[in-house]
Each structure stands twice: as structure tokens, then as C-alpha cells.
Amino acid sequence: MAVHDTALAPRRSPAAPYAPGILLGGLLLVQGAAFTAPLAAQAASVSAPRVAQRASAAEVAGRLLAPCCWIQTLDVHDSPLATELRAEISRRLAQGEESSAIEDDLAARYTERIRAVPRGQDPRDGIPALIAVGMSISLATLFVLGWRWKRSLARRAEADPAADGPAPAASDVYDAQVDAELARLEEN
């Protein structure tokens, strides 16, 4: 006699129908927490623009090109003029002068070409917005994937209602085999 096919089917735990929801809920919590951090950083940067903040000499030098070659920024270039300009920037910042005033003065002396970054702009300002957009897209993707997964589980449950019931224990299967063998032997 053949062994009942459902005996070989894997047993489902009682929590199996809830696992996708628990997993999706956990992922949504992590995504939500990560989503709010860049927005808070962006709000802080809006309330205190980077141009108005006190900058270090290295930051100011990193926003200006060396006027002797127009290739490297002042913070990495090694020439007598670059060294002199770095010293001037440090001295003027130590005296309390704003970094934007120093940049404007150097741009007036060496033309606007000295600016490695356009006036009043910082490429780092757009990073929180990019992170927020990326997190929103990943959150929407996770939601769609979780919804599709849940829907496929529901379809499987509708297609195979026997799979939802508990699988017979292995001893029940063996008992059925032994009973069938005994019945066959008694017939002979």
C-alpha cells in the first residue's frame, strides 16, 4: 500500500501565515527610521546654511582653485602661491572674517575662475534629498514586494486547502504501513 502523500509534505508552523506580515512590518520600521534621519539633517542644514557657518581654512581652500595652474584646489596644491594663499586664508579666518568674504575677495583678485564650487553652493547640500528619495523608492518597493508575497501565499492557500491542515505525524504513517502489511499477511 502506498504511503499517504501528505505525510511527505513539510509541516507548516502555526506562525507561518503571519511571518510575511511580521517581516514586512520590521522592514517598514527600519526604513521609516532611516527615512527620518536625512530629513532631520536637511532641516538642520536649512536653518543654518553652510556658507554662513564658520568654516575652517581647509574647507575654504577646498572650494578654491590654485590660480597658478587652475587644476587643483588650494588645499592639495603645492606651490609657493598656493602656500601663500592658504596662509592668508588661515590668518583672515583667525581674525574673524567670514569665509564667504574671503572667497569673494580672492575671486575679485583672480576672477571667478578661482571658484571650484559655484558661489553660495555646496554639492553636499543635495545629499539628504537624494537619500530621502532613495529611501522612499526602496520603501515603496518593499511594500509592493510584501503585498505580492502575501497575495501569492493567499492564492496558494486557496489552491491547496489540504496544505493548511496539520500533516500527519511520521508515526501515523508508519502505523498505516504496518497495518496494511499485517492485513495483507492475514489474507494469505
Residue 183 lies in a domain: no
pLDDT at 63 over 60: yes
The per-residue pLDDT for 172 is: 80
Residue 64 lies in a domain: yes
Residue span of the structural domain in which 113 resides = 17-162
Residue 169 lies in a domain: no
The per-residue pLDDT for 27 is: 64
Distance CA 1, CA 187 (A): 14
Residue 184 lies in a domain: no
Residue 145 lies in a domain: yes
The per-residue pLDDT for 126 is: 76
Q: Which of 27-41, 114-128, 135-149 has the lowest mean pLDDT?
A: 27-41
Nearest alpha-carbon partner for 58 in 99, 26, 22, 97: 99
Q: Looking at the 3D structure of the chain, how many domains does it have?
A: 1
Residue 106 lies in a domain: yes
The per-residue pLDDT for 53 is: 45
Total residue count of the chain as it appears in this document: 188
With 0.75 as the threshold, say if the pTM is over it.
Answer: no
Residue 37 lies in a domain: yes
Query: Is 173 in contact with 7 (CB distance < 8 Å)?
Result: yes
Distance CA 115, CA 170 (A): 78
How far CA 27 is from CA of 11, 13, 36, 137, 138, in Å, comes to 26, 22, 14, 14, 10
Distance CA 43, CA 50 (A): 12
pLDDT at 68 over 80: yes
The per-residue pLDDT for 49 is: 45
Residue 187 lies in a domain: no
Distance CA 17, CA 107 (A): 66
